[in-house]
Amino acid sequence: MDDKQIVIYQLLPRLFGNKNSTNVPYGTIEQNGVGKFNDITDQALAGIASLHANYVWYTGAIAHASLTDYSAYGIKVDDADVVKGRAGSPYAIRDYYDVDPDLAVDVKNRMQEFEALVKRTHGKNLKVIIDFVPNHVARSYHSYAKPEGVADFGSNDDVTRSFSAQNDFYYVPGQPFVVPTNGLKTPLSVLQDGKFDENPAKATGNDAFTASPKYDDWYETIKLNYGIDYQNGKQNHFDPIPPVWTKMRDILIFWTKKGVDGFRCDMAEMVPIAFWNWVIPQVKQVNPDLIFLGEAYNPQVYKQYLEEGKFDYLYDKVGLYDGLKRLIRNEPSADVKDIRHVWQVESAGFGKHMLRFLENHDEERIASAGFAGKAELALPAMVVSATLGSGPVMLYFGQEVGEKGQGQEGFGGDDNRTTIFDYWGIPSHQKWMNGGLFDGQKLSSEEQKLRSWYKQLFKVTSVSDAIKNGEIYDVPQAANMNNRMYAFIRYSGKQRLLVVVNFDRHASLEANIEIPDHILKVKHSSPVTDLLTDRKLNIPAGTSIPVTLGPVSAQVIEF
C-alpha cells in the first residue's frame, strides 16, 4: 500500500450496523438498538472499499463502561454516576483485553466475532485501525479477560501516596470521590444516586487532581501515571520504567497479534513523548507495517512527536481543519492564506505525516445546522484535504451521504454531532445501509450524487503519484482571485495536477494559471482533463491553463 495515499474510513460499530430508527432520547439498547461486529458484512466492507478507502478505523471496539447489564456473563454492572450516556463513552475503557459486549451477537464469543471482523476486513484488502486510549481508563476499570499473569491497573498501588512512580494511578489520600452534581441531565439523572464508592479518590483523566471533579471534567475516567509528578513541577521519574509503560506495551502487542494494523492514539500529547519513543519501536518489532496515528492539537510540538515520539501521523486539526471550517462557514475572518500557512509554515517539512479530515466523532457534522447546513458547501475543502499533502485523509461514516447529526440523542445532546455516548440510529447512513443490503437504494438523488462525488475524489487522489510522491507549488494569487479562491500544483516525475478551489458562495473564478517552466518541462498539449468529472478541457496549447470555476466548486486538472 506504500504506493497509495492512505484513505481511512472511520465508523462506530455500535452505530454503523444499527437498523433501528426509533431514536428515543436516552433510549436503552432494547429501545434504540445497537450495531454488531457481524453487521459489518462483506457487502458493507465492499461499499467502504468502493470509496477507495484502504483502512477502516473501528471506533469503540474495546470494552468500555456502559449502563447495559451484562452481569449474566460475569461482567459487573457499571455505576451510572460515572458513565456518560447509556451506551457510555468509547474512551472510558473498562477492560483493555476485551471487546465491547454490546457489539456481539453471542456475548460469550465476542472476541471471536471481532477476530472474524478483522479477517473479513482484510479479505476486502482493507486494513484495521482501533483506538488506543493511553491517558485514562474508566473509573470502573477491571479486566475480566486479561491473560494469565497480567496485573490489573492499580492492583499493587500504594493508595496512601498521591504520587509514586510505581503507582498506576494518582490519588487524593484521605478524601473520597465526590460525584459531580452540577449540570445533571434528565431523565438519565434518575439512574444516578451520587453514591459511587471510591476512597481514596483518584485523579481524573483531564489532569484534575481533586476528589471533586466538575461536571465538564472527564469525571468518568481515571488518569494513568506514566511517572510524571504533575503536582511537583512535572518532574519525570522514568528510571526504572514505570509499571504503566510495560502494561501498555503488552496491551498494544496483544491487539497487534489479533491482526490489528494500526492504532489511533487518543490524546497522545497527554502522555510523555519518552513513552512513545520507548513503546512504538517495540510494538513495531511484532509488525513493522503498523501505523501509529496520534490525536494532537499543539502545532508547536508536532515535529517533536513525529521525530522523537516516533508517530507515523498526527491530526491536522489545529491548522488545516480549523482554517477550512472558517472557509466552509463563510466566516468574516476566513481566508485561503490559512491553507498556505499550514503547508508553508506550520507543517513545513513534515506535511506527509499529517492526517487531514473534515469530520470525525469529535467534530460537528458538515451538514448540521451549526456547521454549514449543507454538505456540498464543504466539497472544495475536501479537495484541499485530500490533495494538499502526501499523508492520510479520513472520511467519517455518513459524511459521504450528508448526515446532519440532528436530534436530542441523550448525553450528547443536540450538538450537531453524531453521539458517541448513546444508542442511536443514523438516518442518512441507514438509507445507504438499506436494511443490511448496503446498496444505497434508499438514498435520495442528491445523496447518491454526493457519495459518487466522494468516490471520484478518492479514486483520483488515492492512486495519484503527484499527491503521494510529488512536490507542491503555490500558484501566485491572480488579481481576480479573492481571499476565498486558491490554486496550487502537485507534481512529480510522472504526473502534474493543478488544484483550483473556490469557496466563494457567489462569485465565479476566472483566471489564467501560468505554469512555471520547472514544472511544465514541455508545453502542455490540449486537451487537459478535469479528473473530478473526467471531462476533457479543450484549451489552447501553451504554458498557461485558463480556469473557469463556479461558486463553491473545485477542479483537479491533470496536464
Q: What is the pLDDT of residues 85-103, one digit of tens each?
A: 999 999 999 999 999 999 9
* DSSP one-letter code for 25: T
Contacts 24+ apart (CB under 8 A), 246-252: 247/150, 247/151, 247/153, 247/168, 248/134, 248/275, 248/279, 249/278, 249/279, 249/282, 249/283, 250/150, 251/96, 251/97, 251/132, 252/132, 252/279, 252/283
User: Does any domain span residue 212?
Assistant: no
Nearest to 70, CA basis, from 56, 52, 88: 88
Considering the domain architecture, whether residues 408 and 523 belong to the same structural domain is answered as no
For residues 181 and 194, the answer to whether their CB atoms sit within 8 Å is yes
Domain of 543, CATH number, reads 2.60.40.1180
Considering the domain architecture, whether residues 417 and 528 belong to the same structural domain is answered as no
Give the end of a domain, one of 461, 479, 511.
461
Q: Which amino acid is at 53?
A: A
User: Does any domain span residue 169?
Assistant: no
Considering the domain architecture, whether residues 434 and 400 belong to the same structural domain is answered as yes
Give the end of a domain, one of 409, 442, 461.
461
pLDDT at position 404 is: 98
Domain of 368, CATH number, reads 3.20.20.80
Considering the domain architecture, whether residues 391 and 530 belong to the same structural domain is answered as no
Q: Are strands 393-396 and 7-11 parallel, antiparallel or unpaired?
A: parallel
Considering the domain architecture, whether residues 74 and 101 belong to the same structural domain is answered as yes
Q: What are phi and psi of 293, to 5 degrees?
A: -115, 120
User: Does any domain span residue 229?
Assistant: no
User: Does any domain span residue 445?
Assistant: yes
User: Does any domain span residue 245?
Assistant: yes
* Site of grid cell 504506493: 3
User: Does any domain span residue 202?
Assistant: no
- State the residue range of the domain holding 450: 7-158+235-461
User: Does any domain span residue 309?
Assistant: yes
Considering the domain architecture, whether residues 387 and 245 belong to the same structural domain is answered as yes
Number of other CB atoms surrounding residue 313 within 10 Å = 23
Considering the domain architecture, whether residues 455 and 496 belong to the same structural domain is answered as no
Strand 485-491: give its sheet, edge to edge.
471-474, 485-491, 496-502, 553-558, 528-530, 535-537
Structurally, the chain folds into a number of domains equal to 2
* DSSP one-letter code for 342: I
Phi-psi label, residue 35: left if phi above 0, alpha if psi -120 to 50, beta otherwise: beta
pLDDT 10s per residue in the chain (559 long)?
A: 568 999 999 999 999 999 999 999 999 999 999 999 999 999 999 999 999 999 999 999 999 999 999 999 999 999 999 999 999 999 999 999 999 999 999 999 999 999 999 999 999 999 999 999 999 999 999 999 999 999 999 999 999 999 999 999 999 999 999 999 866 554 445 678 888 999 999 999 999 999 999 989 999 999 999 999 999 999 999 999 999 999 999 999 999 999 999 999 999 999 999 999 999 999 999 999 999 999 999 999 999 999 999 999 999 999 999 999 999 999 999 999 999 999 999 999 999 999 999 999 999 999 999 999 999 999 999 999 999 999 999 999 999 999 999 999 999 899 999 999 999 999 999 999 999 999 999 999 999 999 999 999 999 999 999 999 999 999 998 888 999 999 999 999 999 999 999 999 999 999 999 999 889 876 666 679 999 999 998 888 788 999 999 999 999 999 9
Number of other CB atoms surrounding residue 242 within 10 Å = 24
Considering the domain architecture, whether residues 493 and 434 belong to the same structural domain is answered as no
Considering the domain architecture, whether residues 455 and 483 belong to the same structural domain is answered as no
Give the end of a domain, one of 461, 486, 512.
461
For residues 490 and 83, the answer to whether their CB atoms sit within 8 Å is no
Considering the domain architecture, whether residues 407 and 531 belong to the same structural domain is answered as no
User: Does any domain span residue 500?
Assistant: yes
Considering the domain architecture, whether residues 251 and 115 belong to the same structural domain is answered as yes
Rounded Cα gap, residues 342 and 329, in angstroms: 19
CA distances for 354 relative to 264, 292, 394, 516, angstroms: 13, 12, 11, 27
Considering the domain architecture, whether residues 417 and 538 belong to the same structural domain is answered as no
